[in-house]
Structure 1
Amino acid sequence: MRTQVGIVGAGPAGLLLSHLLHLQGIESIVVESRSREYVEKRLRAGILEHGTVEVLREAGLADRLNREGLPHEGISLRFDEEDHRIPITELTGRMVTVYGQHEVVKDIIAVRLAADGQLEFEVTDTKLHDLTTDRPRITYTNAEGRAEEIECDVVAGCDGFHGVSRQSIPANHLNIYDHVYESAWLGILAQTPPSHEELIYTHHDRGFALHSMRSPERTRLYVEVDRTEKLENWSDRRIWDELHTRLALKEGFDLNEGPILDRGITQNRSFVAEPMRYGRLFLAGDSAHIVPPTGAKGLNLAVADVRILARALDAFFSLKKSELMDTYSQDCLKRVWRAEHFSWFMTSMLFSFRGADPFQKELQKAQLRYTATSEAAAKSLAENYAGMPFEWSDR
């Protein structure tokens, strides 16, 4: 097979890139190791920045998002059993939207297939070849067991932290920044209406807790656990009891309970691999960077990456200009490192980090009080949470 851009990974980064390229008349083929059913049901992020929503709308991908997404104009910081609202829209003129990553994936897959886009699911033994030439190749075995090869002009590595794309780059060509935190997230999806109209980020002596939602009927909730914790140690009752304790308010707080539909433990990690380019291979999304979920930046960074990459590839194919391809990595990394810092800041301020000494705990409380009472501090949080405008990082 021959195409202009071979894309490895059918997550939001790879799918959105394929669609943006299609709008520019650029051909692509997407290969994915998982099944379509798996990627459409995989629970991940649920907070879309203002800019992310605008990208999806401009690309014609927001029909269902416009109907079912839940716009939010603020969040609550909860500590010492009191709420402190951060009015994001009032402070920035922007907002975030609650809409699950798997819903974004479903929307893009439907649009790509309707346009006869080439999406290859359930492939195995994917390998990248000749990445430093002008004719890189992707080989794999398709779902029917047949060996396939794609010759292309460019390869986009959008296959996540554990994918083959970054692993195909020689180690001496990458600078790796990796920080693993002591705590992890135990997350559940419950069939019950949200207990609050906005997200609640809670600092508690027993550990961080987050109240979020996915729809008017489903609530997403998290508690901080040790990074070595096992899911089987947490019964439904233990999870709900811990959430009641951590989310409590002095005047009382009614936490809605319901059947738990999904659960899992996610490690807290900050990771950056740079540069995000090797020859004709361009990394995007989790292939190049990971952030703790506390800042709600993972999906949004993936969208920002492929927005820049699509623009660079358009210039390359339509104008025969490679300048934007040459600056792709540095253009992305400006936003990546800002999001890394914000995610680290939120995690450091909210997580209990078992074993932290009294001095560290008092610093956390001081930062929380400052953020809750200073308009300047609250505006900084709001600006980062809603997402820095694209103009901030565009060339």
Structure 2
Amino acid sequence: MIRLLLTLLAAGLGVLSFPPVHWHPLALVAPLPFLFAIRDAKSGAALGLGLVYGLALYIGTLNWLLAVFGSFALLLHFILALFPALFAGIWSGLRPHLPDRWWAPLAAAVLWTGIEHFRSEWFALRFAWITPGTGLPPGFLTPWIGVYGITLLIIAGCACIAFGPRFRLAGTLILLHTCLAAYLPKPPTPPGTLTVAAVQSEEMWAPSLLSQSEDLPHVDAIVWPEYGTDADLRLDTKLSERLQQLMTAKSSEIMVIGGRAELDGQRWQNTAFTLGREGVLGTHVKNRPVHFFDDGEPGTEAPAIPTPLGRIGTPICFDNDYAAVARRAVANGAEFLLIPSMDAEHWTARQHLQHAELFRHRAAENGRWLVVAASSGLTQAVDPRGRRTASLPLFKPGTLVTRISPISTLTPYQRGGWLIGPICTVAAMGMMIAAVGLPRLRGKTGP
């Protein structure tokens, strides 16, 4: 019973650390009761506790999936819960065979991070929400090691405390330094040099968005939401001309518009068009279409599009939930990110607020300004340290006018810090093999 209560406590702390409550300091210690619960547990009990932890955590945070998928969401919650169960099962099989050394808690952290990275980035139903690294706000460590590196530190600190008195001082110091990196004041960001307007409207229809954009002041760039038009701007010359007239009237050099590119009679691609005064300057095809939605054929490239304002990346909505797409756009030369996004109003404020946090981590990992134009929110501007500098209220049509700057330098995360997640995943696969093989090698299994 004590193990079950500790597991439910860990899930409850995790729920409270994410929006809408967002008591984010709890993310530092939320996994701790669960790690206490599975310490020295038999494999079957550990698997069960991991499943309970996952179900309680993901139903508590991602209950908005019911508004999107109906009862099918329960199956999605169960699939997500299998991953903490996998961690608990592997660790319970591996722990008895590890010496009581300093690297044993680190091994637990690598296993947790590797499984989470696999679930978020590589799994067929990849879903990168609700991880310890995204529970904390972006901090000084984010441009060095990214969200998976921060997850590694949180779990390492909690594992040190949970697995024995001799490691508790080390665990406390790890968590303290991770906390300071997240919450110490950051130096101010220099004022922006470009003016960008982002349009928020649930009525995603070009004539309506045009009408709303007529009230904009003179700006350097305009961003519309994902699905701002159902046209291919390379083919729809009438709409392109009308948009170019708007750009001329507002002295704008570029517009970023979510549309669709037809491939043939049945297939199409969800596409962000970057429009200049002389025509389409470039496109980005959504790399990560939303699961179970008619969201187009996936793209494979994350281009940096040359424009009069600098090279820009335009990853679309769900692309930014993952670490890889924005990282590749910046590696290709993007100096800032202008992002069309779509979150339906009936998906609830909880969904919108959780989604909005992920953009902050992408900005801080890559050291880039970004502006998001979302259908019903959260339309926002985020500085290169992950601070939200401006936003619009949820569910209300409006326009956000903000200042940003191009940046060309690469963060340490860009130069190699991003490899933490993949390395942990490969190591976790080795641990899984070891957890199965070690008992047999040592004669622990039955006949």
TM-score after normalising by structure 1 = 0.27
Choose between structure 1 and 2: higher helix proportion: 2
TM-score after normalising by structure 2 = 0.24
The higher-RCO structure (CA 8 Å, 6+ apart) is 1
- Max Rg structure: 2
